[in-house]
Amino acid sequence: MRFTQSKPQRLSTGSVHCLLALLVILLTGCSFKMKNLVKGDVDMIVDQHIQELNTLTARLLVKLYKRNPKELAKAPGKTIEKRRHQLAAPPPNYHFAELSREVGDGALSLAFNPNFSGDRVFALMVGLKSMLHGSYGMRTEIFLLDELNQQLLYHSARNLEIINWRLNNYRGDDGQLYLLSNGVQAGIANLSFERLFGKMILIQDMMAKVVSGKNNRTINTVVHSLASTVLLPIPL
């Protein structure tokens, strides 16, 4: 019986580079997380925009409380930082007893309900945050096998437009706005709230288009009147 010795196969240059790159990643671990191996390019883009949304909503919460300090006073012992933590602490929980565990449209309705005596800023932010979270399927980050719904992302963008309109127009029986936001201070128009909402709307519209392209599905657009339209449905 004769044995033949086979020649060792040489790896291609490309394979060597891939192996070296993987080795460097495994040895250094510099800013690399193993979970990123199960994320595609679109997933990482979505994650970045979710983080940006969290930053913008936190900024909105602070600005609303500074413009409406009497709302925070309705919740003894609460501070702006404690309120921020309530909405940011993982895992997200938006069901609060002080709002009768209402989320989404239910919580947003409380913010503009003349009979509601609680913290209107908190009600608005719980409704807004839970609605945005729902547009991502209640996920805090996205992986390869996760499938987002471009229609829900589009709905959330339109809902942000409606919420912004209500914030600037809904008034109590005394003719005063339920919550102060944009205004004129020292003769200068303060449109910082408008810009915050504009950034969030832009993110959600862009994500809707990205997900639509990834899923190869169209977005059903709607024509709506801000003054009369109810919020578009987003499951929570």
The domain ranges of the chain are: 35-215
pLDDT at 6 over 50: no
- In angstroms, the CA 45 to CA 115 distance is 42
Q: Could you tell me which residue, 230 or 39, shows the higher pLDDT?
A: 230
Q: What is the pLDDT at residue 109? A: 96
Q: What mean pLDDT is predicted for residues 118-135?
A: 97
Q: What percent of the chain lies above the pLDDT cut of 90?
A: 64
Tell me whether the omega of the peptide bond preceding residue 91 falls within 30 degrees of 0, making it cis.
yes
Q: What mean pLDDT is predicted for residues 159-173?
A: 96
Q: Could you tell me the two tokens for 164?
A: 């912004």
Q: What is the pLDDT at residue 28? A: 46
Q: What is the pLDDT at residue 151? A: 97
Comparing 12-26, 36-50, 91-105, the range with the smallest average pLDDT is 12-26
Q: What is the pLDDT at residue 14? A: 54
- Give the largest CA-CA distance in the chain: 104
pLDDT at 61 over 90: yes
Q: What is the pLDDT at residue 187? A: 77
- pLDDT, one tens digit per residue, over 186-196 is 778 889 999 99
Q: Could you tell me the two tokens for 235?
A: 């499951």
Q: What mean pLDDT is predicted for residues 16-30?
A: 47
User: CA angle, corner 56, sides to 113 and 83, nearest 5?
Assistant: 55
> What is the average pLDDT value for the chain, to the nearest integer?
85
Region of 186 please: left (phi>0), alpha (psi -120 to 50) or beta: left
- In angstroms, the CA 216 to CA 228 distance is 32
